[in-house]
Amino acid sequence: MPSGAIWTGVSGLDNHQTWMDTIGNNIANSNTAGYKSSRFEFEDILAQSLQGAAPPAQGGVGGTNPEQVGLGTTTGSVDTITSQGSLQQTNVPTDVAIIGGGYFPVSDGTNTHYTRDSVFHVDAAGDLVSSANGLHLRGYGPNPNLTGLNTAGLVNLTIPQTTGPASATTALDVFGNLDSQATTAQTETIQVIDSLGQTHSVTLTFTPSGTAGQFTVTAASPDIAGKTIDTGGATISFGTNGQLNGATSITLNTKGNAWLVPSTVTTPGTGTASNAATNQTVTLNLSDAQVGALTSFATSSAVSSQGAPANPAGVGSPAGFLKAFTITPNGTILGQYTSGNTATLGQMVLATFTNPAGLQRIGQNDWDVSADSGQANINTPGSGPSGTVAQGNIETSNVDLADQLAGMILAERGFQANSKIITTSDQMLQDVVAMKQ
């Protein structure tokens, strides 16, 4: 009787329909950011054995193969293809595509999910969130001074719209010439920024000591009423060739005297007290190969100062407002402030898995850990098995449309052929019934 063929045909129809569903879902998501396509595989059902195999008989007949009739097909697997999708440049600073392995960890506040969807935005709270569903992007946060990272654990990444911290002056280059014939003090005024970003004028006084080629150095600021800045009794000496001898730097130390004594200190031009930290040390480098050295020749005094090329941050800077941010290939988020400062705002991380194809889809471009994916391993972009990130880009779907359309033709033809099995088997059953008439 042909009824077995009917059920074989039905299994073919069911699984070709599943194949078509898989293809349809791939095509529907051909423009979904970060989408990973699926691949359908068939598997035959255990066959019905009509006769088992027999071994050759010694001196007799040869062996016979088993006689089996298949019972149809079933779904072997629906695998996720995790290959890289193409990058599409958007120039949107919050779009950050992954190049290589890894997934962004995102959180709803309770559960952590994973995604390759690289379309993010900054919400009203300043948090970086997925534009698809508002899940928070997780990573390493900055330290309190925005000078580095706190890698103790993952936090919600933010782009803080707060004022960037000021940085105090710590080092300056002083160069030029002190007149070797001078009998009176020579001065140079430098600008020093305190820990609150307030700028103070400091006058350096170079006084001939009475010994040839030797000057004592003192410092004072009009912002410090009746007090001087400690130079440690600095003395600088010049040889007979006009070049520095001995010490090539001077240390200015405000100790307890300076900008921070409200009863004696006022902010220039305002008459208000400064609250900057009481201790501030500034190193004055008198010999920088990249800039020049302080000399003493028989010509007019002309002393200048600037930041050291090897230590530009030593100049210090006032506070500022965030005007832009960049994300480096290793995921570090750097904020650029109106003060000229650059601060570390955080770092993106990537989760890698032993078997990324084993992750479970949960919709909205997100994935969850499954029993066969392995646990998430957190790495910074570019380290270990993790890829890098590209700001201003999104990763497009990795669906190969030509392959999917070819598969659609094969699925339709397979479905058609299996339906023919059913109609033919039905005709055979009708013929059997007709034998009675």
Mean pLDDT across 100-116: 96
Q: Name the residue among 313, 314, 309, 312 with its Cα closest to residue 291.
A: 309
**Which CA distances in Å does 85 have to 31, 32, 81, 114, 400?**
11, 11, 10, 17, 10
Contact between 308 and 175 under an 8 Å Cβ cutoff? The reply is no
Per-residue confidence (pLDDT) for residue 225, from 0 to 100: 59
pTM score, whole prediction: 0.74
Helical ranges in 165-296 per DSSP H: none
Distance of CA 93 to the CA centre of its chain: 12
Q: Residue 172: which H helix or E strand, with range? A: strand 171-177
Specify burial of residue 105 (Cβ count, 10 A radius: 0-12, 13-18, 19+).
Answer: buried
Contact between 186 and 213 under an 8 Å Cβ cutoff? The reply is no
Query: Which residues make Cβ contacts (< 8 Å) with residue 35, sequence separation at least 6?
Result: 29, 85, 116, 365, 397, 398, 399
Q: Look at domain 171-315 and name its CATH class.
A: mainly beta
Query: How far is the C-alpha of 258 from the C-alpha of 281, rounded, in Å?
Result: 11
Q: What is the pLDDT of residues 391-422, one digit of tens each?
A: 999 999 999 999 999 999 999 999 999 889 88
CA Rg value for the chain: 39
Q: What is the pLDDT of residues 313-351, one digit of tens each?
A: 899 888 888 899 999 999 999 999 888 888 899 999 999
Amino acid at 303: V
End-to-end CA distance of the chain: 18
Query: Which residues make Cβ contacts (< 8 Å) with residue 117, sequence separation at least 6?
Result: 33, 34, 104, 130, 132, 365, 366
Note the residue count of the chain: 437
Q: Could you give the residue range(s) of every CATH 2.60.98.20 domain in the chain?
A: 171-315
The secondary structure of residue 32, as a DSSP letter, is S
Q: Name the residue among 115, 83, 86 with its Cα closest to residue 349.
A: 115
Query: How far is the C-alpha of 170 from the C-alpha of 285, rounded, in Å?
Result: 11
pLDDT band at 194 (very low <50, low <70, confident <90, very high): confident
Per-residue confidence (pLDDT) for residue 272, from 0 to 100: 46
β-strand partners of 294: 176
Amino acid at 24: G
If one compares 292 and 246, the residue with the highest pLDDT of the two is: 292
Task: Please report the sign of the dihedral spanned by the C-alpha atoms of residue 110, residue 115, residue 117, residue 122.
Answer: positive
Per-residue confidence (pLDDT) for residue 261, from 0 to 100: 41
Q: What is the pLDDT of residues 141-172, one digit of tens each?
A: 998 878 889 999 999 999 987 777 788 899 99
Per-residue confidence (pLDDT) for residue 124, from 0 to 100: 92
- What are the structure tokens assigned to 382, written together? 């570019």
Indicate the SS3 state at residue 152. Answer: strand
pLDDT surpasses 60 at 381: yes
Neighbours of 83 (CB within 10 A): 9
Specify burial of residue 277 (Cβ count, 10 A radius: 0-12, 13-18, 19+).
Answer: middle
Neighbours of 192 (CB within 10 A): 25
pLDDT band at 242 (very low <50, low <70, confident <90, very high): very high
**Which CA distances in Å does 187 have to 183, 205, 327, 331, 382?**
13, 5, 45, 48, 52
